Amino acid sequence: MNLFENKSILLGITGSIAAYKAADLASRLKKSGAKVNAVLTPGAEKFISPLTFQPVIGSKAYVDNDLWIGETHVTHIGLGHNADLAVIAPASADFMAKLAYGFGDSLLAVSILASHCPLLLAPAMDGDMYDHAATQANVAILKERGAHFIGPASGHLASGLTGVGRMSEPAEIFNNIRCLLSRDGKLRGKRILVTAGGTREAIDPVRMITNRSSGKQGYAIAQAALDAGADVTLISAPTALDVPFGCQYIPVESAADMLNAVVAHLPECDGLIMCAAVADFHPLAAAEHKIKKDGGFNQISLEPTQDILAEVAVMRPSLSKLKAVIGFAAESQDLRQNAKGKLDKKKLDMIVANDISAKDSGFAVDQNRAVFLYADGREKEIPLMGKDQLAEALITDLLQLL
Protein backbone atom coordinates (compact mmCIF):
# COMPACT_ATOMS: atom_id res chain seq x y z
CA MET A 1 0.00 0.00 0.00
CA ASN A 2 3.09 2.28 -0.14
CA LEU A 3 1.88 5.28 -2.07
CA PHE A 4 5.25 5.91 -3.71
CA GLU A 5 5.98 2.38 -4.89
CA ASN A 6 5.72 2.03 -8.69
CA LYS A 7 5.32 5.80 -8.97
CA SER A 8 7.51 7.75 -11.36
CA ILE A 9 8.25 11.34 -10.38
CA LEU A 10 9.69 13.77 -12.90
CA LEU A 11 11.76 16.24 -10.85
CA GLY A 12 12.61 19.36 -12.83
CA ILE A 13 15.32 21.64 -11.48
CA THR A 14 15.63 25.16 -12.92
CA GLY A 15 18.05 28.05 -12.44
CA SER A 16 17.90 29.28 -8.86
CA ILE A 17 20.18 29.26 -5.84
CA ALA A 18 17.54 26.99 -4.24
CA ALA A 19 18.57 24.24 -6.72
CA TYR A 20 20.73 22.63 -4.01
CA LYS A 21 17.59 21.93 -1.96
CA ALA A 22 16.26 19.81 -4.83
CA ALA A 23 18.82 17.13 -3.91
CA ASP A 24 17.15 16.79 -0.50
CA LEU A 25 13.73 16.49 -2.18
CA ALA A 26 15.12 13.87 -4.60
CA SER A 27 16.47 11.91 -1.64
CA ARG A 28 13.13 11.97 0.22
CA LEU A 29 11.28 10.79 -2.89
CA LYS A 30 13.78 8.00 -3.57
CA LYS A 31 13.74 6.79 0.06
CA SER A 32 9.97 6.62 -0.08
CA GLY A 33 10.15 4.12 -2.92
CA ALA A 34 9.47 6.31 -5.96
CA LYS A 35 11.39 6.19 -9.24
CA VAL A 36 12.84 9.67 -9.66
CA ASN A 37 13.81 11.14 -13.04
CA ALA A 38 15.74 14.35 -12.47
CA VAL A 39 16.05 16.84 -15.34
CA LEU A 40 18.22 19.95 -15.01
CA THR A 41 17.80 23.01 -17.21
CA PRO A 42 20.96 24.82 -18.42
CA GLY A 43 20.28 27.44 -15.71
CA ALA A 44 20.10 24.75 -13.02
CA GLU A 45 23.45 23.32 -14.17
CA LYS A 46 25.08 26.64 -13.29
CA PHE A 47 24.04 26.11 -9.66
CA ILE A 48 24.30 22.32 -9.22
CA SER A 49 25.77 19.37 -11.08
CA PRO A 50 23.79 16.34 -12.31
CA LEU A 51 26.43 14.33 -10.46
CA THR A 52 24.88 15.48 -7.18
CA PHE A 53 21.60 13.80 -8.11
CA GLN A 54 22.82 10.55 -9.66
CA PRO A 55 23.90 8.73 -6.47
CA VAL A 56 20.82 10.08 -4.65
CA ILE A 57 18.28 8.78 -7.18
CA GLY A 58 20.33 5.78 -8.31
CA SER A 59 20.10 6.64 -12.00
CA LYS A 60 21.21 9.16 -14.58
CA ALA A 61 20.19 12.77 -14.03
CA TYR A 62 19.27 14.33 -17.36
CA VAL A 63 20.72 17.59 -18.65
CA ASP A 64 19.68 19.67 -21.61
CA ASN A 65 22.19 18.07 -23.95
CA ASP A 66 20.35 14.74 -23.56
CA LEU A 67 17.58 16.20 -25.71
CA TRP A 68 19.94 15.97 -28.70
CA ILE A 69 22.34 13.17 -27.89
CA GLY A 70 20.20 11.08 -25.52
CA GLU A 71 19.63 7.30 -25.62
CA THR A 72 16.95 7.92 -28.21
CA HIS A 73 15.70 11.12 -29.80
CA VAL A 74 12.45 10.84 -27.86
CA THR A 75 13.87 11.04 -24.34
CA HIS A 76 11.50 13.86 -23.48
CA ILE A 77 8.43 11.94 -24.63
CA GLY A 78 9.41 9.02 -22.39
CA LEU A 79 10.10 11.27 -19.40
CA GLY A 80 6.83 13.14 -19.87
CA HIS A 81 4.59 10.14 -20.64
CA ASN A 82 5.91 7.94 -17.86
CA ALA A 83 5.55 10.46 -15.07
CA ASP A 84 2.81 10.01 -12.47
CA LEU A 85 3.60 13.50 -11.22
CA ALA A 86 5.92 16.28 -12.34
CA VAL A 87 7.40 18.67 -9.81
CA ILE A 88 9.49 21.69 -10.70
CA ALA A 89 11.56 22.65 -7.64
CA PRO A 90 12.87 25.27 -7.80
CA ALA A 91 10.69 26.85 -10.49
CA SER A 92 12.32 30.06 -11.79
CA ALA A 93 10.39 33.05 -13.16
CA ASP A 94 11.87 32.30 -16.58
CA PHE A 95 10.78 28.66 -16.57
CA MET A 96 7.25 29.50 -15.44
CA ALA A 97 7.02 32.04 -18.27
CA LYS A 98 8.12 29.34 -20.73
CA LEU A 99 5.57 26.89 -19.37
CA ALA A 100 2.78 29.47 -19.46
CA TYR A 101 3.42 30.12 -23.16
CA GLY A 102 4.27 26.58 -24.22
CA PHE A 103 7.94 27.11 -25.14
CA GLY A 104 9.84 23.92 -25.83
CA ASP A 105 13.42 25.12 -25.76
CA SER A 106 14.85 22.70 -23.16
CA LEU A 107 14.58 19.00 -22.36
CA LEU A 108 12.58 19.88 -19.24
CA ALA A 109 10.18 22.18 -21.09
CA VAL A 110 9.43 19.61 -23.81
CA SER A 111 9.08 16.85 -21.21
CA ILE A 112 6.41 18.88 -19.39
CA LEU A 113 4.68 19.62 -22.70
CA ALA A 114 4.58 15.87 -23.39
CA SER A 115 3.25 14.95 -19.93
CA HIS A 116 -0.36 14.28 -18.87
CA CYS A 117 0.22 14.05 -15.11
CA PRO A 118 -0.41 16.55 -12.30
CA LEU A 119 2.17 19.34 -12.18
CA LEU A 120 3.45 20.92 -8.96
CA LEU A 121 5.55 24.07 -9.01
CA ALA A 122 7.69 25.39 -6.14
CA PRO A 123 8.67 28.91 -7.22
CA ALA A 124 11.93 30.47 -6.03
CA MET A 125 13.13 33.94 -6.95
CA ASP A 126 13.66 37.41 -5.63
CA GLY A 127 10.57 39.00 -4.10
CA ASP A 128 10.32 41.74 -6.74
CA MET A 129 10.59 39.19 -9.55
CA TYR A 130 7.80 37.15 -7.98
CA ASP A 131 5.62 40.23 -7.47
CA HIS A 132 6.15 41.45 -11.04
CA ALA A 133 2.94 41.64 -13.03
CA ALA A 134 4.40 39.34 -15.71
CA THR A 135 5.26 36.60 -13.20
CA GLN A 136 1.91 36.93 -11.47
CA ALA A 137 0.13 36.68 -14.84
CA ASN A 138 2.11 33.53 -15.70
CA VAL A 139 1.27 31.98 -12.31
CA ALA A 140 -2.41 32.77 -12.95
CA ILE A 141 -2.27 31.13 -16.42
CA LEU A 142 -0.65 27.99 -14.99
CA LYS A 143 -3.14 27.79 -12.10
CA GLU A 144 -6.01 28.23 -14.52
CA ARG A 145 -4.61 25.29 -16.48
CA GLY A 146 -4.63 23.12 -13.35
CA ALA A 147 -1.03 23.40 -12.12
CA HIS A 148 -0.56 23.15 -8.35
CA PHE A 149 1.68 25.56 -6.47
CA ILE A 150 3.52 25.37 -3.19
CA GLY A 151 5.04 28.58 -1.84
CA PRO A 152 7.01 30.66 -2.31
CA ALA A 153 7.58 31.24 1.38
CA SER A 154 8.56 34.46 3.05
CA GLY A 155 12.01 34.96 4.57
CA HIS A 156 15.62 35.82 3.84
CA LEU A 157 16.36 35.87 0.09
CA ALA A 158 19.64 35.33 -1.75
CA SER A 159 19.56 39.00 -2.77
CA GLY A 160 20.00 39.91 0.89
CA LEU A 161 16.47 41.25 1.01
CA THR A 162 13.63 39.77 3.04
CA GLY A 163 10.33 38.98 1.36
CA VAL A 164 8.22 36.41 -0.46
CA GLY A 165 10.29 34.31 -2.84
CA ARG A 166 11.99 31.52 -0.88
CA MET A 167 11.38 28.02 -2.20
CA SER A 168 9.27 25.99 0.23
CA GLU A 169 11.24 23.48 2.28
CA PRO A 170 11.81 20.03 0.71
CA ALA A 171 9.82 18.36 3.52
CA GLU A 172 6.79 20.51 2.69
CA ILE A 173 7.13 19.90 -1.04
CA PHE A 174 7.40 16.16 -0.35
CA ASN A 175 4.21 16.23 1.75
CA ASN A 176 2.41 18.12 -0.99
CA ILE A 177 3.51 15.50 -3.55
CA ARG A 178 2.28 12.75 -1.22
CA CYS A 179 -1.10 14.46 -1.00
CA LEU A 180 -1.39 14.86 -4.79
CA LEU A 181 -0.43 11.22 -5.44
CA SER A 182 -3.07 9.96 -3.00
CA ARG A 183 -6.11 11.66 -4.50
CA ASP A 184 -7.27 8.68 -6.62
CA GLY A 185 -7.12 6.23 -3.70
CA LYS A 186 -9.89 3.86 -2.65
CA LEU A 187 -11.19 6.22 0.04
CA ARG A 188 -11.67 9.04 -2.46
CA GLY A 189 -14.83 10.98 -1.65
CA LYS A 190 -15.02 9.64 1.92
CA ARG A 191 -14.46 11.82 4.98
CA ILE A 192 -12.85 10.16 7.98
CA LEU A 193 -12.75 11.72 11.44
CA VAL A 194 -9.72 10.74 13.52
CA THR A 195 -9.14 11.79 17.13
CA ALA A 196 -5.66 11.70 18.63
CA GLY A 197 -3.51 12.61 21.60
CA GLY A 198 -4.13 12.73 25.32
CA THR A 199 -6.64 15.33 26.52
CA ARG A 200 -5.64 17.89 29.16
CA GLU A 201 -7.89 18.65 32.10
CA ALA A 202 -7.08 21.92 33.86
CA ILE A 203 -6.58 22.08 37.62
CA ASP A 204 -5.71 25.79 37.48
CA PRO A 205 -4.19 28.02 34.74
CA VAL A 206 -0.83 26.29 35.20
CA ARG A 207 -1.48 22.69 36.20
CA MET A 208 -3.36 19.92 34.47
CA ILE A 209 -4.14 16.21 34.47
CA THR A 210 -3.12 14.41 31.30
CA ASN A 211 -1.82 10.99 30.18
CA ARG A 212 1.08 9.36 28.36
CA SER A 213 -0.45 9.36 24.89
CA SER A 214 1.94 10.85 22.28
CA GLY A 215 -0.65 11.00 19.51
CA LYS A 216 1.68 8.95 17.22
CA GLN A 217 -0.85 6.22 16.46
CA GLY A 218 -3.69 8.67 15.74
CA TYR A 219 -1.50 10.82 13.48
CA ALA A 220 -0.31 7.70 11.64
CA ILE A 221 -3.97 6.73 11.09
CA ALA A 222 -4.80 10.22 9.79
CA GLN A 223 -1.84 9.97 7.37
CA ALA A 224 -2.83 6.45 6.22
CA ALA A 225 -6.39 7.66 5.56
CA LEU A 226 -5.03 10.62 3.56
CA ASP A 227 -2.74 8.25 1.61
CA ALA A 228 -5.81 6.17 0.76
CA GLY A 229 -7.43 9.27 -0.76
CA ALA A 230 -9.79 10.18 2.10
CA ASP A 231 -10.61 13.67 3.27
CA VAL A 232 -9.51 13.67 6.88
CA THR A 233 -10.61 15.72 9.87
CA LEU A 234 -8.10 15.35 12.68
CA ILE A 235 -9.32 16.42 16.11
CA SER A 236 -6.27 16.42 18.31
CA ALA A 237 -5.24 17.18 21.85
CA PRO A 238 -1.80 18.87 22.02
CA THR A 239 1.10 16.73 20.73
CA ALA A 240 4.68 17.36 19.60
CA LEU A 241 3.91 16.00 16.12
CA ASP A 242 3.65 17.66 12.70
CA VAL A 243 0.08 17.80 11.45
CA PRO A 244 -0.29 15.52 8.38
CA PHE A 245 -0.37 17.68 5.25
CA GLY A 246 -3.80 18.05 3.70
CA CYS A 247 -6.02 17.24 6.67
CA GLN A 248 -8.54 19.52 8.34
CA TYR A 249 -6.93 20.08 11.73
CA ILE A 250 -9.03 20.91 14.80
CA PRO A 251 -6.88 21.46 17.91
CA VAL A 252 -8.57 20.84 21.27
CA GLU A 253 -7.44 20.60 24.89
CA SER A 254 -9.95 18.89 27.15
CA ALA A 255 -12.33 15.94 26.87
CA ALA A 256 -15.24 18.42 26.80
CA ASP A 257 -13.61 20.35 23.88
CA MET A 258 -13.07 17.08 22.03
CA LEU A 259 -16.68 16.01 22.56
CA ASN A 260 -17.94 19.35 21.16
CA ALA A 261 -15.63 19.11 18.15
CA VAL A 262 -16.64 15.49 17.42
CA VAL A 263 -20.35 16.35 17.68
CA ALA A 264 -19.87 19.34 15.34
CA HIS A 265 -17.91 17.47 12.64
CA LEU A 266 -19.38 13.96 12.72
CA PRO A 267 -22.48 14.63 10.58
CA GLU A 268 -20.32 15.13 7.46
CA CYS A 269 -18.19 12.01 8.12
CA ASP A 270 -18.35 8.45 6.74
CA GLY A 271 -16.14 6.96 9.44
CA LEU A 272 -14.92 7.75 12.96
CA ILE A 273 -11.71 6.42 14.47
CA MET A 274 -11.55 7.37 18.17
CA CYS A 275 -7.86 6.88 18.83
CA ALA A 276 -7.53 9.69 21.40
CA ALA A 277 -6.72 8.89 25.00
CA VAL A 278 -9.61 10.85 26.48
CA ALA A 279 -9.47 11.62 30.20
CA ASP A 280 -12.02 9.62 32.15
CA PHE A 281 -12.10 12.18 35.00
CA HIS A 282 -11.60 15.92 35.24
CA PRO A 283 -11.36 18.34 38.17
CA LEU A 284 -14.81 19.45 39.34
CA ALA A 285 -13.91 23.07 38.55
CA ALA A 286 -10.59 24.50 37.38
CA ALA A 287 -9.38 27.29 39.71
CA GLU A 288 -9.42 30.70 38.03
CA HIS A 289 -6.01 31.65 39.45
CA LYS A 290 -2.90 29.65 40.19
CA ILE A 291 -3.37 27.71 43.43
CA LYS A 292 -0.74 28.82 45.98
CA LYS A 293 1.20 26.11 47.77
CA ASP A 294 1.09 28.10 51.03
CA GLY A 295 -2.64 27.40 51.34
CA GLY A 296 -2.01 23.62 51.55
CA PHE A 297 -3.11 22.03 48.29
CA ASN A 298 -3.53 18.31 48.80
CA GLN A 299 -6.81 17.29 47.28
CA ILE A 300 -8.40 17.55 43.83
CA SER A 301 -12.06 16.58 43.54
CA LEU A 302 -12.77 14.79 40.28
CA GLU A 303 -15.89 13.96 38.34
CA PRO A 304 -16.25 11.68 35.30
CA THR A 305 -15.98 13.19 31.81
CA GLN A 306 -18.69 12.47 29.29
CA ASP A 307 -17.93 9.40 27.18
CA ILE A 308 -17.62 10.64 23.58
CA LEU A 309 -18.31 7.25 22.01
CA ALA A 310 -21.41 6.84 24.19
CA GLU A 311 -22.65 10.19 22.85
CA VAL A 312 -21.85 9.05 19.30
CA ALA A 313 -23.93 5.90 19.87
CA VAL A 314 -26.89 8.13 20.84
CA MET A 315 -26.40 10.37 17.80
CA ARG A 316 -25.81 7.54 15.34
CA PRO A 317 -29.40 6.85 14.20
CA SER A 318 -29.57 10.44 12.91
CA LEU A 319 -26.18 10.26 11.13
CA SER A 320 -27.04 8.75 7.76
CA LYS A 321 -23.51 9.10 6.31
CA LEU A 322 -21.70 7.44 9.21
CA LYS A 323 -20.94 3.81 8.33
CA ALA A 324 -18.12 2.85 10.68
CA VAL A 325 -17.19 3.68 14.26
CA ILE A 326 -13.89 2.32 15.53
CA GLY A 327 -12.65 2.64 19.11
CA PHE A 328 -9.42 1.85 20.89
CA ALA A 329 -8.92 -0.01 24.14
CA ALA A 330 -5.58 0.45 25.86
CA GLU A 331 -5.39 -2.40 28.35
CA SER A 332 -2.72 -3.61 30.71
CA GLN A 333 -4.56 -6.84 31.63
CA ASP A 334 -7.34 -9.15 30.29
CA LEU A 335 -6.90 -7.51 26.87
CA ARG A 336 -9.53 -9.37 24.83
CA GLN A 337 -12.17 -9.57 27.54
CA ASN A 338 -11.96 -5.87 28.46
CA ALA A 339 -11.86 -4.74 24.84
CA LYS A 340 -14.84 -6.95 23.92
CA GLY A 341 -16.80 -5.39 26.81
CA LYS A 342 -16.08 -1.88 25.42
CA LEU A 343 -16.93 -2.95 21.85
CA ASP A 344 -20.40 -4.01 23.01
CA LYS A 345 -21.00 -1.22 25.55
CA LYS A 346 -19.94 1.58 23.18
CA LYS A 347 -21.82 -0.03 20.21
CA LEU A 348 -18.73 -0.03 17.99
CA ASP A 349 -18.19 -1.75 14.64
CA MET A 350 -14.63 -2.54 15.60
CA ILE A 351 -12.19 -2.01 18.45
CA VAL A 352 -8.40 -1.99 18.41
CA ALA A 353 -7.32 -3.79 21.57
CA ASN A 354 -3.94 -2.45 22.49
CA ASP A 355 -1.70 -4.26 24.98
CA ILE A 356 0.13 -1.47 26.81
CA SER A 357 1.83 -3.74 29.33
CA ALA A 358 4.75 -4.50 26.96
CA LYS A 359 7.59 -1.95 26.83
CA ASP A 360 8.07 -2.28 23.05
CA SER A 361 4.52 -1.28 22.08
CA GLY A 362 1.77 1.15 23.02
CA PHE A 363 2.31 4.61 24.48
CA ALA A 364 4.98 6.95 23.08
CA VAL A 365 7.06 4.31 21.21
CA ASP A 366 6.98 3.92 17.43
CA GLN A 367 5.68 0.37 17.42
CA ASN A 368 2.45 -1.26 18.38
CA ARG A 369 0.81 -4.66 18.61
CA ALA A 370 -2.93 -5.17 18.84
CA VAL A 371 -5.96 -7.32 18.18
CA PHE A 372 -8.73 -6.02 15.91
CA LEU A 373 -12.08 -7.19 17.33
CA TYR A 374 -15.20 -6.81 15.19
CA ALA A 375 -18.86 -6.51 16.20
CA ASP A 376 -19.62 -9.69 14.17
CA GLY A 377 -17.21 -11.69 16.35
CA ARG A 378 -14.23 -11.79 13.95
CA GLU A 379 -10.76 -11.22 15.38
CA LYS A 380 -7.48 -10.29 13.72
CA GLU A 381 -4.14 -10.51 15.48
CA ILE A 382 -1.77 -7.62 14.59
CA PRO A 383 1.81 -8.58 15.52
CA LEU A 384 4.43 -6.04 16.62
CA MET A 385 4.86 -3.54 13.79
CA GLY A 386 5.38 0.17 13.14
CA LYS A 387 2.48 2.43 14.08
CA ASP A 388 2.32 3.53 10.44
CA GLN A 389 1.96 -0.11 9.34
CA LEU A 390 -0.77 -0.75 11.92
CA ALA A 391 -2.49 2.40 10.64
CA GLU A 392 -2.39 1.03 7.07
CA ALA A 393 -3.86 -2.29 8.25
CA LEU A 394 -6.64 -0.43 10.05
CA ILE A 395 -7.47 1.72 7.01
CA THR A 396 -7.53 -1.38 4.78
CA ASP A 397 -10.12 -2.92 7.13
CA LEU A 398 -12.06 0.35 7.38
CA LEU A 399 -12.57 0.14 3.60
CA GLN A 400 -14.55 -3.06 4.11
CA LEU A 401 -16.71 -1.48 6.80
CA LEU A 402 -17.66 1.55 4.69
Binding site for ligand C5P (CB under 6 A): 255, 274, 276, 278, 280, 305, 307-309, 327-329, 342
Of 171 and 315, CB closest to ligand C5P: 315
The distance of closest approach from Cβ of residue 283 to ligand C5P in the complex, given in angstroms and rounded to an integer, is: 15
Of 112 and 266, CB closest to ligand C5P: 266
**N residues, the chain:** 402
Of 187 and 351, CB closest to ligand C5P: 351
Using DSSP's 3-state secondary structure scheme, residue 155 falls into: strand
The distance of closest approach from Cβ of residue 260 to ligand C5P in the complex, given in angstroms and rounded to an integer, is: 13
The distance of closest approach from Cβ of residue 292 to ligand C5P in the complex, given in angstroms and rounded to an integer, is: 31
Of 67 and 220, CB closest to ligand C5P: 220
Q: Which of 211, 260, 338, 354 is catalytic?
A: 211
Of 39 and 193, CB closest to ligand C5P: 193
Q: For residues 70 and 205, give the distance between their C-alpha atoms in angstroms, rounded to a whole number.
A: 67
Element holding 88 (H helix, E strand)? strand 85-91
The distance of closest approach from Cβ of residue 369 to ligand C5P in the complex, given in angstroms and rounded to an integer, is: 17
For residue 148, report the phi and psi dihedrals to the nearest 5 degrees: -100, 150
The distance of closest approach from Cβ of residue 391 to ligand C5P in the complex, given in angstroms and rounded to an integer, is: 15
Please report the DSSP string for 99-151 in residue order.
Answer: HHHT---SHHHHHHHT--S-EEEEE---HHHHHSHHHHHHHHHHHHTT-EE--
**Pairs from 222-226 (Cβ < 8 Å, separation ≥ 24):** 222/194, 222/196, 222/247, 223/388, 223/391, 224/388, 224/391, 224/392, 224/394, 224/395, 225/187, 225/192, 225/194, 225/273, 225/395, 225/398, 226/178, 226/179, 226/182
Residue 211 is among the residues annotated as catalytic for this protein: yes
Q: Which residues are the active-site residues?
A: 211
